[in-house]
């Protein structure tokens, strides 16, 4: 067992087991307090909510509570390890919600792999939460589960493995294009991987201006082509080409996007890319090609990974706390494309505004103190402008509210 593994086990077992606990937020030190917190006083908010369900956001924790939900079928580089074994990851996600955005979260691990049954279970739980963060659910079932829940529920449902990755990739992508002087409508993109994260990333890149005909996607069997039998999600990216392998399509590519597995990109592939190649090797913990090996054959490359020990870490925690903070505060019924795009642009602009902006700094770092106050208001504004917000936020008052919250989280 490595030193890191041993330290991690000791960290999780020390003191109170796990990483999260429940905190009481109102006085309960007297009989009078208890009569308000529970019987008989608790009946008053129950009656009020029964008359007007929106009052739940005023009288309960619903408006600041997110459900972090998984079935453990695609856990953090570990694969299908089951719901129970995925619990430490879900607890960790709850920690990040609280640490970065002051949002409470319940982790819920559901021992169910049938997508229709899972939808029914999650939908039945929705009164508890102001939003639902789906996590580590295997593709392609995750697409169906998220779509059906979004159609049924009037609270935000967000599969972070898809959209969180896509948002941070989009941000780094815009800045890499900026640094290399590329026209987004002309860049050639080659993607290794065709799972949930890859598909969401590609959708985001097209939304930002990449042309679909300039995108080539490879799964474990090779290039997605029109003569292959493919799922609906993959079919949308099929090209009419005789190319079969990643090496067949990598020539003169401006961008490599890896959301697949270790070692799938070779140095010879990088050599065949355009000058100043942009390489997002996001397989975790071991990337498609290590940055030092990319730079060995292409010193002018811009490289990003999912790892914290290299520059340009593509980390979902750069966006999901602030998306949910904005969604909860604005009463958004969903996290829509306008909100996701606003997050992409805000993150990119934040990195460009930093003195260290350059090829080794294309996205903010996870602990950048500007994130809560700099990104969240722009997402909330997009929610209002796109018509999904149920609350009207005064920009100045909201900025002050976030500033105050940020001080409590430092």
Q: Which residues are catalytic?
A: 38, 93
The Cα 273–Cα 70 span in angstroms is 38
Taking residue 264's Cβ as centre, other Cβ atoms within 10 Å add up to 18
Q: What angle do CA 287, 288, 293 make, to 5 degrees?
A: 85
Phi, psi of 88 (to 5 degrees): -60, -35
| Strand ordering across the sheet containing 131-134 | 104-109, 65-70, 131-134, 157-159
Run of H or E residues at 292: helix 291-297
161 is in an annotated binding site: yes
Instruction: For residue 205, count CB atoms less than 10 angstroms from its CB and return exposed for 0-12, middle for 13-18, buried for 19 or more.
Output: buried
394 is in an annotated binding site: no
Residue 39: strand, helix, or coil: coil
The Cα 191–Cα 173 span in angstroms is 13
The pair of three-digit structure tokens given for residue 96, joined into one six-digit string? 């990040």
β pairing state of 131-134 and 65-70: parallel
The Cα 273–Cα 213 span in angstroms is 18
240 is in an annotated binding site: no
Residue 248: strand, helix, or coil: helix
Taking residue 112's Cβ as centre, other Cβ atoms within 10 Å add up to 15
Any long-range contacts for 268-273 (C-beta under 8 Å, 24+ apart)? 270/294, 270/297, 270/298, 270/301, 271/297, 271/298, 272/247, 273/298
The Cα 229–Cα 270 span in angstroms is 29
The pair of three-digit structure tokens given for residue 14, joined into one six-digit string? 């020390």
Closest CA to 253 of 76, 243, 142, 262: 243
Closest CA to 119 of 128, 107, 110, 130: 110
312: alpha, beta or left? (left if phi > 0; alpha if psi -120 to 50): left
Q: What is the CA radius of gyration of the chain?
A: 22
Annotated binding site for (S)-malate, which residues? 284, 315
Annotated binding site for a divalent metal cation, which residues? 135-136, 161
């Amino acid at each position: 067992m490595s030193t890191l593994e041993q330290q991690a086990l000791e960290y999780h077992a020390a003191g109170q087991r796990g990483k999260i606990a429940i905190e009481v937020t109102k006085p309960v030190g007297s009989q009078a307090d208890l009569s308000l917190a529970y019987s008989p006083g608790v009946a008053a908010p129950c009656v009020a909510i029964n008359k007007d369900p929106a009052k739940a956001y005023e009288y309960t924790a619903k408006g600041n509570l997110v459900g972090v939900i998984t079935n453990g079928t695609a856990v953090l580089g570990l694969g299908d390890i089951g719901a129970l074994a995925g619990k430490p990851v879900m607890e960790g996600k709850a920690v990040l919600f609280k640490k970065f955005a002051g949002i409470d979260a319940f982790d819920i691990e559901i021992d169910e792999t049938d997508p229709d049954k899972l939808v029914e279970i999650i939908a039945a739980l929705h009164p508890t939460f102001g939003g639902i963060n789906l996590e580590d659910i295997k593709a392609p079932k995750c697409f169906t589960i998220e779509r059906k829940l979004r159609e049924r529920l009037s609270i935000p449902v967000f599969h972070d493995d898809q959209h969180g990755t896509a948002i941070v990739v989009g941000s780094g992508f815009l800045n890499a294009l900026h640094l290399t002087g590329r026209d987004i409508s002309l860049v050639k993109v080659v993607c290794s991987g065709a799972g949930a994260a890859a598909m969401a990333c590609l959708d985001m890149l097209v939304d930002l201006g990449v042309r679909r005909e300039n995108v080539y996607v490879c799964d474990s069997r090779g290039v997605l082509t029109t003569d292959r039998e493919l799922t609906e999600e993959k079919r949308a990216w099929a090209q009419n080409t005789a190319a079969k392998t990643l090496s067949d399509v990598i020539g003169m590519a401006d961008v490599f996007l890896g959301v697949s597995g270790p070692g799938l990109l070779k140095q010879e592939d990088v050599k065949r890319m355009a000058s100043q190649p942009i390489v997002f090797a996001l397989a975790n913990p071991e990337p498609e090609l290590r940055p030092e090996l990319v730079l060995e054959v292409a010193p002018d490359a811009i490289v990003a990974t999912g790892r914290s020990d290299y520059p340009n870490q593509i980390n979902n925690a750069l966006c999901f706390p602030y998306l949910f903070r904005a969604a909860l505060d604005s009463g958004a019924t969903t996290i829509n494309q306008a909100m996701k795009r606003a997050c992409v642009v805000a993150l990119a602009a934040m990195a460009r505004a930093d003195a260290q902006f350059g090829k080794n700094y294309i996205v903010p770092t996870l602990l950048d103190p500007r994130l809560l106050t700099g990104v969240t208001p722009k997402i909330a504004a997009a929610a209002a402008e796109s018509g999904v917000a149920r609350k009207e936020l005064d920009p100045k008052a909201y900025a002050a509210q976030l500033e105050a919250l940020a001080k409590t989280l430092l």
